[in-house]
Amino acid sequence: MQILIQNGTVVRSTGRRKADVLMRDGKIAQISERIDGPADRVIDAEGCYLFAGFIDTHTHFDLDLGVTVTADNFETGTKAAIVGGTTTVLDFATQDHGMTMHDALDLWHKKAEKSSCNYGFHMAVSEWNDARKAEVDDMFRAGVSSFKMYMVYDAMKVGDGQIYDAQKFIGARGGVIGVHCENYDILQARIAEEKAKGNLGPTGHPVSRPQAVEAEGVARLMRIAELSGYPAWVVHLSTADGLEEVRAARRRGVEVYAETCPQYFTLDVSQYAAKDGAKFVMSPPLREARDRAAILDGMKRRDIDFIGTDHCSFTMAQKALGKDDFSKIPNGGAGVQNRAELVYTYAVQTGAITLEQMALLMSERAARLFGMFPKKGVLKVGSDADLVIFDPNAPHTISWRTNLHNCDNSPYEGMQASGRVRDVILNGELVTENGTLVKPYGGRYVFRNPSERYRK
Ligand code: URP
Ligand code: ZN
C-alpha cells in the first residue's frame, strides 16, 4: 500500500517546509519537494499542515472507579482519539489493590482489543512492595517503561517513601514514573470544611483543591527526585505555582518532565458555577487567568514537555452521583478528540507557541520520553506512517454531539476552533477522511523501549 500526500507543509520541531510525503508498507518512504508517484492513493493537502501522528500521554479508558466505570472504553475513546489526530494513546493500566501488574496488563490488553488508534500502557501502581517490584522487569520486557503513582485517591494513594523507592528501582531500569501531585491530607480537610459550610455543589471542588494543594505536591515530588537521583514526571500540571516549583527544581539539577492538558490553558474556574458545573469536576480543578497564562508561558519556554488530555469521561447521569456532595462526583472530563484543535486555536493562533512547538508538545517529546522515538513523534524517512493532515482554515464549534466519545457532555461545549484535523494515516492506511472515521479498529499495541530521558 502506497499513499502519497502532495502540496502540504511538513511541520517538525526543527522547522517547516513545503514537501510531498510518500508512505509505503506502513513507513515513511520519502519526503521531498516534489514526488509524482506512483501510489495507490494520492491526497492533495494544499493549505494544510502535515504532522507526525499526535500522541496522547494521558487517557483513562474503561477505568473502573468502583462506584462507576468511565463512559468511554477503548472502542469509543480511540474512535474519538483518531478523528482528533491522536494516532497513539498511552492509557493507564491500573494495578488495583490485591492485583498484580501482570493481571492489570493482561486486563488492559483485553480492554484495548477494539482500538482504532495505536495504544501503549503506563502501569499505575496502587501498592509498592517486594511482590510488585518483582514484576517490574517483566513489565519492561512487555514494552511498559513508564509507571504512575498517586499522592491522592483512597484506592490508589501511596506514601512519599514508596515514590522515592520506586523512582530508584524503576529509574535504574530506564523507566519514568508520573506522579499525580496534590496534598491528600489538606484537600481532605478542605473538603470537610466546605461541607461544614454547606457548600456542597461543584463550586466546592476548586476551593477544596486550590493552587497550593498542587504546588505543595509538586514541590514534594521535586525533593523526592532530588533525593532519589532519578527523574520525575509531573502529570497534568495546572498551576503557575506548580510550574515555578518545576523550574526551581531544574535549577537545582533535578531531572523533571512536565505534562499539562488543554483544560488548564483554555478553561476557567468560574465554570463550576454553571448549571452543568459537575462536568468540570476533575482533579486538578480548572484554574484562574494567571495559571492559564503561566501554563502557556511554560509551553512557549519549553518548560512544559508535552500535552495529554487526561480524558476520563462520565455522563451527566454519572456526574449526578455527587449531586448532593461535590466530593462524590466522579472526577474527570472528556477531551481526547479535541486536543489538536484546541492547541492550534488557543496556543498557536494566539501566538503563544509556534507550529514547531506544537509538533514538539503533541508528539515528539512524548515519543522520546516514553521510548517510541524515532518510530513515532517525527516525520522522517523510516518512521512509522502515522500522520495527521491538519487544516488551519476550518472554523467550527466544538460539541459533544459531534464528538465520537460516548458521553453526553464536553468541557469544551460551544467553544470555537479555527482549524481541525482533516485526514489521518495510521500504520500506513488512511483511516480518517475529511473528519470522518472511514477505517476503524486499525490500532496496534506499541511496545516501548526504556526512556530517552532527554533532560538528563
Ligand atoms: O479528574 C481526573 N483527572 N480523573 C482521572 C484520574 C486522574 O486524576 O488522573
Ligand atoms: Zn489522569
60 CB near ligand 1 (under 6 Å): yes
**Cell representation of residue 259:** 505534562
180 CB near ligand 1 (under 6 Å): yes
285 and 388 in a common domain: no
d(CA 70, CA 406): 9
Of ligand 1's listed atoms, the one at least distance from the Cα of 236 is 9
Q: What are the counts of helices (DSSP H) followed by strands (DSSP E) for the chain? A: 15, 19
CA of 14 to the centre of ligand 1 (A): 33
| Structural domain includes residue 206 | yes
CA of 271 to the centre of ligand 2 (A): 20
120 and 16 in a common domain: no
Residue 189 CB contacts under 8 Å (≥ 6 apart), including other chains: none
| Structural domain includes residue 401 | no
Across the range 440-456, mean pLDDT stands at 98
Q: How many domains are contained in the chain? A: 2
Give the max Cα distance, the chain. 71
CATH number for the domain spanning 37: value is: 2.30.40.10
| Structural domain includes residue 38 | yes
Across the range 213-231, mean pLDDT stands at 99
331 and 199 in a common domain: yes
The confidence band for 37, taking pLDDT boundaries of 50, 70 and 90, is confident
Cα atoms in the Cβ-side hemisphere of radius 13 Å centred on 438:
12
pLDDT in tens, 426-439: 999 999 999 999 99
Percent over 70 (pLDDT), the chain: 100
CATH number for the domain spanning 317: value is: 3.20.20.140
174 and 33 in a common domain: no
DSSP bridge partners of 423 = 389
Q: Whose CA is nearest to atom 4 of ligand 1?
A: 332
Q: Whose CA is nearest to atom 8 of ligand 1?
A: 283
| Structural domain includes residue 377 | no
Write down the pLDDT at residue 436. 98
| Structural domain includes residue 400 | no
86 and 40 in a common domain: no
CA of 39 to the centre of ligand 2 (A): 41
| Structural domain includes residue 224 | yes
391 and 290 in a common domain: no
Write down the pLDDT at residue 279. 98
Predicted TM-score (pTM) of the model is 0.98
- The closest ligand to the CA of 63 turns out to be 1
d(CA 93, CA 122): 6
18 and 142 in a common domain: no
128 and 21 in a common domain: no
Q: Is the pLDDT of residue 266 over 90?
A: yes
148 CB near ligand 1 (under 6 Å): no
Of ligand 1's listed atoms, the one at least distance from the Cα of 282 is 1
CB 441 within 8 A of CB 116: yes
Q: Whose CA is nearest to atom 9 of ligand 1?
A: 310
422 and 286 in a common domain: no
| Structural domain includes residue 27 | yes
CA of 41 to the centre of ligand 2 (A): 38
Write down the pLDDT at residue 433. 98
Across the range 398-415, mean pLDDT stands at 98
310 CB near ligand 1 (under 6 Å): yes
| Structural domain includes residue 274 | yes
DSSP string of 429-445, one letter each residue: EEEEETTEE-S-----B
SS3 of residue 266 by DSSP: helix
> Locate cell 480518517: which residue?
432
Mean pLDDT of the residues in the chain:
98
156 CB near ligand 1 (under 6 Å): no
pLDDT in tens, 124-134: 999 999 999 99
125 and 45 in a common domain: no
pLDDT in tens, 320-372: 999 999 999 999 999 999 999 999 999 999 999 999 999 999 999 999 999 99
Range of the domain at 18: 2-51+384-395+418-437
The confidence band for 444, taking pLDDT boundaries of 50, 70 and 90, is very high
Residue 390's H or E segment, with its range, is: strand 387-391
318 and 197 in a common domain: yes
174 and 228 in a common domain: yes
C-alpha angle with apex 392: 389 to 393, nearest 5 degrees? 120
**Number of Cβ within a 10 Å radius of residue 284:** 29
pLDDT in tens, 292-323: 999 999 999 999 999 999 999 999 999 999 99
